[in-house]
Structure 1
Amino acid sequence: MSRRRDLAGGLILLGLLVQILSFLPALELTRFASYTLWLATALLWFDIPRRTRQQSGVLLVLGVGFLVLAAWRHGAEVDWAGSLTGNVYVVAMLLGVSFVGLIGGQATPVADRTAERTGAGALFRTWLGVHVLGIVLNLSTVFMVGDRLARQGELRVPQLLMLNRGLSSAALWSPFFASMGVVLTLAPDMQYSRILIVGLPLAACAGLIAIVDLRRQFDLSTVTGFSLAPRSLLMPVAMAVLVLLFYQVITPGLGIVSIITFLMPATALASQLVSGPRRARRQLTSHVRQRLPMMRGEISLFLAAGLLTLGLSTYVEALTGSQWTLFARFGTLEAMASLVAIVVSAVLGLHPIIGISVLASMLQLSAQEQTLFAFVALGAWAIGTSVGPLSGINLSLQGRYGISGFVMMRHNLVYALSLLVLVLAAIALTGRWG
Structure 2
Amino acid sequence: MPAPTPPPISLRHALAGGLILGGLVLQVMRFAGLPVALPAVSHAFWLAVGLLWVDLGQRNRRQAGALAGIGLVLLLAAWLGYGADIAWSRILDGNSYVVAMLVGVSFIGLIGTRQGHSPPAGHGVTGRRGVIGTWLGVHLLGAILNLSTVFMVGDRLQRRGPLSLPQLLALNRGLSSAALWSPFFASMGVVMTLAPEMRFPTVVAFGMPLALLAGVLTALELGRRFDLSRVAGYSLSPPSLMMPVGMAALVMLFHYGLTPGLSIVSIITFLMPGVALASNLPRGPRWTLRRVRSHALERLPAMRGEISLFLCAGLLTQGLSTFIGAATGSEWTLFTQFGTPQAVASFLAIVASAVVGLHPIIGVSVLASMLELGGDRQTLFAFVALASWAVGTSVGPLSGINLSLQGRYGVSGSVMMRHNLGYAGVMTALVVMAIVMLDAWL
Q: So what's the TM-score if we normalise by structure 1? A: 0.98
> What is the RMSD computed on CA atoms of the aligned residues?
1.2
1:324-367, Cα deviation, whole Å (9 max, x unpaired): 00000111110000000000000000000000000000001112
Tell me how far apart the structure 2 counterparts of residues 49 and 157 of structure 1 sit (CA, whole Å).
Answer: 25
**Conserved in 2, the CA contact under 8 Å of 1:97 and 1:265?**
yes
What letter matches 2:160 in structure 1?
Answer: Q
SS class of match (1:389):
coil
- Give the aligned partner of residue 126 of structure 1: 134
Tell me how far apart the structure 2 counterparts of residues 421 and 274 of structure 1 sit (CA, whole Å).
Answer: 51
Distance 1:16 1:26, change over 3 A: closer
Where do residues 259-408 of structure 1 align in structure 2 (5 Å cutoff)? Answer: 259-408=267-416
**Conserved in 2, the CA contact under 8 Å of 1:108 and 1:232?**
no
Tell me how far apart the structure 1 counterparts of residues 40 and 438 of structure 2 sit (CA, whole Å).
Answer: 41
**Conserved in 2, the CA contact under 8 Å of 1:142 and 1:163?**
yes
Residue of structure 1 aligned with 2:122, choices 92, 112, 115 = 112
Tell me how far apart the structure 2 counterparts of residues 47 and 415 of structure 1 sit (CA, whole Å).
Answer: 34
Task: For residue 313 of structure 1, report the CA deviation from its aligned partner.
Answer: 0.3
SS class of match (1:117):
strand
Tell me how far apart the structure 2 counterparts of residues 192 and 53 of structure 1 sit (CA, whole Å).
Answer: 34
Work out the number of aligned pairs and report it.
432
Task: For residue 432 of structure 1, report the CA deviation from its aligned partner.
Answer: 5.7
Distance 1:28 1:282, change over 3 A: closer
SS class of match (2:66):
helix
What letter matches 2:217 in structure 1?
Answer: I
Tell me how far apart the structure 1 counterparts of residues 168 and 427 of structure 2 sit (CA, whole Å).
Answer: 18
What letter matches 2:238 in structure 1?
Answer: P
Where do residues 219-230 of structure 1 align in structure 2 (5 Å cutoff)? Answer: 219-230=227-238
**Conserved in 1, the CA contact under 8 Å of 2:150 and 2:175?**
yes
- Give the aligned partner of residue 23 of structure 1: 31
What letter matches 2:150 in structure 1?
Answer: V
Task: For residue 433 of structure 1, report the CA deviation from its aligned partner.
Answer: 4.9
Task: For residue 227 of structure 1, report the CA deviation from its aligned partner.
Answer: 0.6
Tell me how far apart the structure 2 counterparts of residues 150 and 282 of structure 1 sit (CA, whole Å).
Answer: 30
Task: For residue 279 of structure 1, report the CA deviation from its aligned partner.
Answer: 1.3
Distance 1:405 1:61, change over 3 A: same
1:87-131, Cα deviation, whole Å (9 max, x unpaired): 000000000000000012399342223xx6111111111100100
Residue of structure 1 aligned with 2:420, choices 402, 412, 424 = 412
**Conserved in 2, the CA contact under 8 Å of 1:15 and 1:32?**
yes
Runs of 4+ with >6 A deviation: none
Task: For residue 419 of structure 1, report the CA deviation from its aligned partner.
Answer: 0.7
Task: For residue 29 of structure 1, report the CA deviation from its aligned partner.
Answer: 2.2
Distance 1:298 1:432, change over 3 A: farther
What letter matches 2:70 in structure 1?
Answer: L
Structure 1 residue 173 and structure 2 residue 181: aligned?
A: yes
SS class of match (1:225):
strand
What letter matches 2:57 in structure 1?
Answer: P
What letter matches 2:78 in structure 1?
Answer: A
Task: For residue 153 of structure 1, report the CA deviation from its aligned partner.
Answer: 1.1
**Conserved in 1, the CA contact under 8 Å of 2:26 and 2:36?**
no
Tell me how far apart the structure 2 counterparts of residues 412 and 380 of structure 1 sit (CA, whole Å).
Answer: 14
- Give the aligned partner of residue 83 of structure 1: 91
**Conserved in 2, the CA contact under 8 Å of 1:63 and 1:309?**
yes
1:368-426, Cα deviation, whole Å (9 max, x unpaired): 21000000000000000000000011111111111111111011111111111101100
Greater mean deviation of Cα atoms: 220-229 or 313-322: 220-229
**Conserved in 1, the CA contact under 8 Å of 2:181 and 2:207?**
yes
**Conserved in 2, the CA contact under 8 Å of 1:332 and 1:427?**
yes
Tell me how far apart the structure 2 counterparts of residues 212 and 142 of structure 1 sit (CA, whole Å).
Answer: 21
Tell me how far apart the structure 2 counterparts of residues 105 and 281 of structure 1 sit (CA, whole Å).
Answer: 15
- Give the aligned partner of residue 92 of structure 1: 100
Q: So what's the TM-score if we normalise by structure 2? A: 0.96
**Conserved in 2, the CA contact under 8 Å of 1:331 and 1:432?**
no
Tell me how far apart the structure 2 counterparts of residues 169 and 82 of structure 1 sit (CA, whole Å).
Answer: 34
Structure 1 residue 212 and structure 2 residue 228: aligned?
A: no
What letter matches 1:119 in structure 2?
Answer: G
Unaligned stretches of 5+ residues in structure 2? 1-8
Where do residues 129-278 of structure 1 align in structure 2 (5 Å cutoff)? Answer: 129-278=137-286
Tell me how far apart the structure 1 counterparts of residues 36 and 337 of structure 2 sit (CA, whole Å).
Answer: 34
Distance 1:193 1:226, change over 3 A: same
SS class of match (1:4):
helix
**Conserved in 2, the CA contact under 8 Å of 1:109 and 1:145?**
no
**Conserved in 1, the CA contact under 8 Å of 2:38 and 2:93?**
yes
Tell me how far apart the structure 1 counterparts of residues 413 and 289 of structure 2 sit (CA, whole Å).
Answer: 38
